[in-house]
Chain A
Amino acid sequence: AAGVIQSPRHLIKEKRETATLKCYPIPRHDTVYWYQQGPGQDPQFLISFYEKMQSDKGSIPDRFSAQQFSDYHSELNMSSLELGDSALYFCASSPRSRADTQYFGPGTRLTVL
C-alpha cells in the first residue's frame, strides 16, 4: 500500500539559511499534518491543512510557514534557521473524517550547523 512520502530524508543547513520540506500524502487523503520531534523529545504538532486551507495551528514558530497544494502535497518552509530547529520533521495524512488515525511518513532529519 502507498505510504506518506517525505523529501528530502536528510537535510543539513547552516544557521540563518532557509529550508523547504515536502510531503506527499497517501492517495485520497485530503488532510496533512506536520510534527516536529527534537532530540529525546516526543512529537509536537506544528500545523495542519485540509483542502489547501490551514485547519489547525500548534507550536509553529513565526519563521516557519506551510501550505497545501491542489494535488494535496504540502511544503513546510523554514527561514532564519536556528540550531534549535535541528529535529525530525514528520508529515502525516488522513482522510478529513478520520483525523484520529493518522498515517505518518518516515520523516526528514534536519540538522542546523
Chain B
Amino acid sequence: DAKTTQPPSMDCAEGRAANLPCNHSTISGNEYVYWYRQIHSQGPQYIIHGLKNNETNEMASLIITEDRKSSTLILPHATLRDTAVYYCIVRALNYGGSQGNLIFGKGTKLSVKP
C-alpha cells in the first residue's frame, strides 16, 4: 500500500469548514483513498473513500487532485464532536482477497474549538 503523509495536528473553529490534507505521491492506479477517524478512545469510524472523482456523503467530501498524488477531506461545518484523529489510508479495493487489514499511519489530530 502507498505511504501517506498528513500534518500531525490542525485546529478549526466550530461551524467553519475543516480541510484535512493528505499526500500520497506513490499511489498506484488501482489504489483508493480512504478516510477513517477515531474519536478519543473509540473505535475508528469509516468516513469516505474515492478513486479519482470527488466524492460526497452525509459526513464529508473528498477532493482528489487530478494527478491523484494528494487529497483533501472536507468537513463542511465542523462541530465539537468532530474533534478526532483523522487517518488517510491508501489501499486497493478488496473483493474477496487477503490483505484485508487496514494500515493506520500517524493521522491528523483535528481540534474543533468553540
Structural contact, A45 and B103, CB atoms closer than 8 A: yes
Query: A96 to B45, alpha carbons, bound, how many Å?
Result: 18
Given A42-B106, A58-B101, A101-B49, is A107 in contact with B96 using a C-beta cutoff of 8 Å? no
Chain A residues touching B, range: 20 to 34
Query: A33 to B101, alpha carbons, bound, how many Å?
Result: 7
Structural contact, B34 and A100, CB atoms closer than 8 A: yes
Q: Closest residue to B89 on the A side, CB-wise?
A: A100
Q: What string of 1s and 0s marks CB contacts (under 8 Å) between B79-102 and chain A?
A: 000000001000101111011111
Query: A42 to B89, alpha carbons, bound, how many Å?
Result: 13
Count the A-B residue pairs with Cβ separation under 8 angstroms: how many?
A: 69
Query: A33 to B99, alpha carbons, bound, how many Å?
Result: 11
Q: What string of 1s and 0s marks CB contacts (under 8 Å) between A17-40 and chain B?
A: 000000000000001010100000
In the assembled complex, which residues on chain A have CB atoms less than 8 Å from the CB atom of B42? Answer: 106-107
Query: A31 to B96, alpha carbons, bound, how many Å?
Result: 10
Query: A58 to B98, alpha carbons, bound, how many Å?
Result: 12
In the assembled complex, which residues on chain A have CB atoms less than 8 Å from the CB atom of B105? Answer: 42
In the assembled complex, which residues on chain B have CB atoms less than 8 Å from the CB atom of A31? Answer: 100
In the assembled complex, which residues on chain A have CB atoms less than 8 Å from the CB atom of B44? Answer: 43, 90, 92, 102, 104
Structural contact, B98 and A56, CB atoms closer than 8 A: yes
Structural contact, B101 and A48, CB atoms closer than 8 A: yes
Structural contact, B95 and A56, CB atoms closer than 8 A: no
The 3 closest A-B pairs by CB, nearest first: A104-B43, A99-B100, A45-B101
